[in-house]
Structures are given as C-alpha cells and as structure tokens.
Amino acid sequence: MKKYLCNACGYVYDPAEGDPDNGVQPGTAWEDVPHDWLCPVCGVGKDEFSEE
Amino acid sequence: MQAREIKPGIYWVGGIDWNLRNFHGYSTDKGSTYNAYLIVDEKIALIDTVKANLTQELISRIRKVVDPARIDYVISNHIEMDHSGALPAIMELTPHATLVTSPNGDKGLHAHYPKEACRWKFKVVQQGDTISLGKRTLQFLPIPMVHWPDSMLTYVPEEKLLMPNDAFGQHLASEFLFDDEIGCSIVREQAAKYYANIVLPYSKSVQTLLTQIQKMKIEFDMIAPSHGVVIRKNVKELVSLYNKWSTHQSDNKVLILYDTMWNSTEKMAETIQLAVEEMNIPCCRTSLTTTHISDVITRVMESRYIFIGSPTLNNQVLPTMASMLSYMQGLRPRNKIGFVFGSYGWGGQAPKLIEESLRALGWELPLPPMAIKYIPTEESLDELRTQVTKILTGAK
C-alpha cells in the first residue's frame, strides 16, 4: 500500500501504521482514510497530501 | 545598544520588546525578546533577525561587533515575522550574504517578502547539511512543526551550542542574558507558558526532535532560543521538561476552571475546592473573569485533573468559556481527567456542550456533568462533594 506525504509539514501516512490515535486502524489504505481525517501533526486535510 | 557575548566570538544581537503585552492573543505580561546571534569566525554568520519594529536595535548591536556588510551568511531558522521582520533591511546591508533556510523556509520567505526575496541569494539546506565558518561549523536540522512547517534548528558542534529558534523559548523581556542571572524559576514558569500556548499541539514533532537529537548524538551545554534568556545552567532540566510536556505528563493536581453569572457556579467551584483540599491534593481555582486564557492553558497543561464549570447563558456556555474551549481545541492538551459542572435557570445546555468539547479532546470523563438549577442547596453541594471525592479517590 502506498504512503502519502503531508505537503505542509512532512508527516508521512503509512497505511501499515494507520493513525490509531485518531480512529484510523493499522492496515487502512489511503483511499479508505475518512475524508474529514486531518494530518495528526499539523492539522491540514487529505487534499494537502501527495503520494510519497 | 550593546552586543552581548554568549560564547567566545558568538554574540547576542537581538531586540528587547519591553512593552509587548499581546502576542496574537497570548498575554505577554513580561514582554519578550527576539533573539538574533552573530558568529564571528573567518566567515561571519547572523542567526535569525528580529521583529520589524526593532530593526534599528538589531543593526546597532551588530555594528558594535562588525560592519554588517561583512556578514557572509544570514540564517533564517523561522519565517514568522517576529524573526524575519528585519530580514529585508539586513539583506540590503549585506550585499554579498547568502540567505540559508529550510525548503519550507524558502517557500515561506518568498510568500512573505515577494518583492525583496527575488533579489536574495538563497541556499536551501536539508537535514545534516553544514556550512564551515572557519573554526566553527553550522549544522542544520529542519524541525517541521516545532512549531511551523519551516522551523529549523542550527547547531554549532565546536561550541556545543544549540540554536533551536522558538523551541525552548520564553516570552520574557529582561536586562539579563542567562537563565542563572534572572533566576531559573521565572525561566521555568515562562518556558511552560510558552510551551502550552505555542508548542503543545505539536508535541509529536517535539518528540521527533528529542529523538533525533539523541540519535545524532548532538551534545550541547547551551540553548540559545529565539525568545527570552539563553539557557546555560538548567539545560538538562529544560530538555527533560520538554520531554514531560510533549508526552502529555502532568502533576497530580486539580485545576478548577470556571466562570459565573450570579455566583452559583462559583459556589460550586468553591465547594469543589474545599473537597479537594480535604483530600490533601494540590488545587487551584481559577476564574476566567480574572485570569487570561493564555495563563489558564499553562495550568491546564500542568494539571492531571481539570474540573470545568459554566452557567448556561442563552442556551450556550458563557462567552469566556467558549473562548477557552476553542483555545483548547486548537492547543489539544491530552491525557486529562475531567469533570463538568454549572448552574442554570432553564434549558441547562452548557455542561453538555462542555462535555462534548472535552470528549473531542479525548479526555477521560468518569462521571456525567453535574448541573444545579438556580441556587445550589446544601444537599446539592453535598452531592457535588461526593462526586468530586469519587473522581479523586486513588489520585493521591
């Protein structure tokens, strides 16, 4: 599964790890991350991410 | 205006903003400083600048050491205008200087200073990049989101000197240069306030930074931040406090945070205070009428238990409380145990609204909110005491 990079702060969303603190379980592909999910580091939306 | 030497050949040349009382909503009751540092070696480097209003102060301090035209490198660790405001003036005075910044700093400086930046000679640095000044080296470490995307740390290994910009800063104007000169307790207090108001939401990035410092074996005996005094005595203590705050650890104490209309919610707050004191747990009762939210948030960060009270006004929380809750949604204090209370006349929506807000922060709320209609009776206050005791049993 592809990783995605936050253009604003450099945080990398890794599907293997997910973002359990914010309700995204490990193993969740980028496409399945909820639309209202925000970067856990800087708070921008999914549209500010690009494929790593 | 004097320059002040912090290490041999390294000078503080910043500006002191004695009368600053409001920093985008942060109550800066001790003023602040914008710290810039000048390193004089075979090559000369200026680390950061100051807010535009203190440009002449910066230039005059630099002139005490060298002619600004001799500066070879200007390092911009952070684009925010309290550190970059004097950049256009400085770059005019230093015609051959190279402006060194992080990749996000490069984008951000062009956005802030579009007319001037197209004339500046940029060098964009990544993690681990270095510039030799002669005897000394500048080593760069971009630290995104501590606390903006462009934030960067500059390290001088030969001098064991860390220049982390806003990290480890304090809004503290002072005639003193070092932590041990002004007194370490005020530095600790103001560093905590700074962390709670500026750095707290980026705690994960602070953890990344602290890990990187260890992994890269960065040794330092002095921290020269971009606000407040230079840390040379309590370096280890401040680093360990940053570790504590960024992992959301707090002390076993209670903050009772409230506002009141006709003293009913205040009566509840006083009752809670007495109950907590009887259990010999440290406790602070803070009204939002008298205490600024930027001071309150520091106490929130440092306390494990937060009891929050507001009456219901026009089916909402009091505006002072709404402001506090909104501030907390942004700053995201974590790992708290909460309890909500308040009086009401009809409707009584405030406690539920507060509860929703605290749940969104992930706080533990072991008991439902307690709302009292109009004026608290002895019986209702007894019940309140019982609730408080239940929450705090085991807290000691």
- Using the predicted structure, report yes or no on whether residue B281 has a pLDDT greater than 80: yes
**pLDDT number for residue A13:** 96
- Using the predicted structure, report yes or no on whether residue A8 has a pLDDT greater than 90: no
Q: Which tokens in the block code for residue B280?
A: 């010999």
pLDDT in tens, B46-60: 999 999 999 999 999
- Please compute the mean of the pLDDT values over residues B307-317 and round it to a whole number: 97
- Chain A, nearest residue to B102 by Cα: A9
- Please compute the mean of the pLDDT values over residues B212-238 and round it to a whole number: 97
pLDDT in tens, B78-104: 999 999 999 999 999 999 999 999 999
Q: What is the ipTM of this complex?
A: 0.78
Q: Does B202 touch chain A (CB under 8 A)?
A: yes
**pLDDT number for residue B43:** 98
Radius of gyration of chain B, Cα coordinates, nearest whole angstrom? 24
* Cβ atoms of B308 and B340 closer than 8 Å: yes
pLDDT in tens, B153-174: 999 999 999 999 999 999 999 9
Please judge whether A10 and B202 are an interchain contact, meaning their C-beta atoms are less than 8 angstroms apart: no
- Using the predicted structure, report yes or no on whether residue B396 has a pLDDT greater than 70: no
- Phi, psi at residue B379, to the nearest 5°? -65, -45
Which chain A residues touch B205 with a CB distance below 8 Å? 9, 41
Q: Which of A9, A17, A22 to mutate to test the interface with B (most CBs of B within 10 A)?
A: A9
- Please compute the mean of the pLDDT values over residues B282-310 and round it to a whole number: 98
- The rounded mean pLDDT for chain B is 97
- Using the predicted structure, report yes or no on whether residue B378 has a pLDDT greater than 70: yes
Q: Which tokens in the block code for residue B375?
A: 């004026």
pLDDT in tens, B325-366: 999 999 999 999 999 999 999 999 999 999 999 999 999 999
**pLDDT number for residue B331:** 96
* Cβ atoms of B78 and B123 closer than 8 Å: no
CA distances from B293 to B170, B257, B305 (A): 17, 10, 17
For chains A and B, CB pairs below 8 A equal: 20
Q: In this prediction, what percent of chain B has a pLDDT beyond 90? A: 99
Does residue B107 sit in helix, strand or coil?
helix
Residue B394's pLDDT band (cuts 50, 70, 90): confident
Q: Which of B79, B143, B145, B334 to mutate to test the interface with A (most CBs of A within 10 A)?
A: B145
**pLDDT number for residue A21:** 86
Q: Which of B273, B351, B267, B279 is nearest to B308 (CA)?
A: B351
Which chain B residues touch A42 with a CB distance below 8 Å? 144-145, 149, 202
- Please compute the mean of the pLDDT values over residues B241-264 and round it to a whole number: 97
Residue A3's pLDDT band (cuts 50, 70, 90): very high
Q: Which B residues, 92 through 151, put their C-beta within 8 Å of a C-beta on chain A?
A: 144-145, 149
Please judge whether A41 and B149 are an interchain contact, meaning their C-beta atoms are less than 8 angstroms apart: no
- Phi, psi at residue B96, to the nearest 5°? -100, 10
How far, rounded to the nearest angstrom, does the alpha carbon of residue B180 sit from its chain's CA centroid? 20
Task: Name the CA dihedral angle for B203, B206, B212, B215, rounded to a multiple of 10 degrees.
Answer: -70
pLDDT in tens, B100-126: 999 999 999 999 999 999 999 999 999
- Active-site residue flag, B24: yes
